[in-house]
């Protein structure tokens, strides 16, 4: 695993992009930056075992390097299924295809994964028993988020599941400040310097736009989901399960 030193070496003011440089170090970046990330992946595998139905599709929207697709594949017990992994960043898609092929070679009998380069908003979704948006919605324009969730709802079969993970903000300003400080401490404990933390925060400004948990729950309910609950929260990162 290549070490994330992007914001040690890079002192320009460019916004965050999912380019070749990020693709090279992305697993290390996630491990050190997102508290609870490993737990969210573990849950995806468990949800796949429970909810994926025979003859249906599963979608990993904003798949990056395909970590969610791989754990879905490992969890699925139903026959005649397919996972569609979608991302709009060519560098991520290229590396994702390599990782998926490596996993297919190790276990060719498991559910196939198709990696697609494209915009998740333009991707046709249908006959889905499981959809994953793992830290993806936050990178869409706020005005497009209702459309994305409605599109997922319409594609899911009855009883299908959406796994939504997001960075959030707290409406209590004092609590939000505390949660941000705790997140920065988490990064420091994972050997990011104060300079790296500051530079990455600046790079993500206006690129990653978080919302409140209430915003997400309200959107899910408006879109028609029968139930939704936060199953994991670690500082200002949450994972939500929603059932059609």
Domains of the chain as residue ranges with CATH: 1-244 (3.40.50.150)
Q: What is the mean pLDDT of the chain?
A: 91
Query: Is residue 61 scored above 60 in pLDDT?
Result: yes
Residues 6+ apart with CB under 8 A from 198: none
Three-state secondary structure call for residue 187: helix
Mean pLDDT in residue range 149-164? 98
Mean pLDDT in residue range 211-228? 97
Query: Is residue 13 scored above 90 in pLDDT?
Result: no
Instruction: Output the pLDDT for position 28.
Output: 80
Q: Which of 50-59, 85-94, 110-119, 195-204 has the lowest mean pLDDT?
A: 195-204
């Amino acid at each position: 695993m290549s070490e994330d030193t992007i914001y040690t070496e890079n002192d320009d003011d460019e916004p965050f992009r999912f380019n070749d440089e990020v693709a090279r170090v992305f697993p290390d970046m996630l491990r050190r930056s997102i508290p609870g990330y490993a737990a969210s992946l573990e849950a995806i595998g468990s949800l796949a075992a429970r909810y994926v139905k025979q003859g249906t599709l599963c979608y990993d929207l904003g798949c990056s390097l395909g970590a969610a697709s791989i754990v879905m594949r490992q969890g699925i017990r139903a026959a005649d299924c397919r996972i569609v992994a979608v991302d709009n960043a060519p560098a991520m898609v290229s590396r994702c295809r390599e990782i998926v092929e490596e996993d297919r070679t190790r276990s060719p009998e498991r559910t196939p994964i198709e990696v697609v380069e494209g915009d998740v908003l333009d991707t046709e979704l249908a006959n889905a028993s499981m959809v994953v948006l793992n830290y993806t919605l936050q990178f869409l324009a706020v005005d497009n988020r209702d459309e994305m969730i409605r599109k997922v709802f319409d594609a899911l079969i009855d009883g299908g599941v959406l796994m939504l993970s997001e960075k959030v903000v707290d409406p209590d300003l004092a609590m939000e400040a505390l949660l941000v400080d705790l997140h920065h401490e988490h990064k420091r404990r994972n050997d990011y310097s104060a300079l790296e933390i500051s530079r990455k925060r600046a790079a993500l400004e206006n690129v990653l736009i978080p919302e409140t948990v209430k915003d997400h729950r309200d959107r899910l309910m408006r879109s028609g989901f029968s139930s939704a609950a936060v199953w994991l929260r670690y500082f200002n990162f949450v994972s939500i399960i929603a059932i059609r």
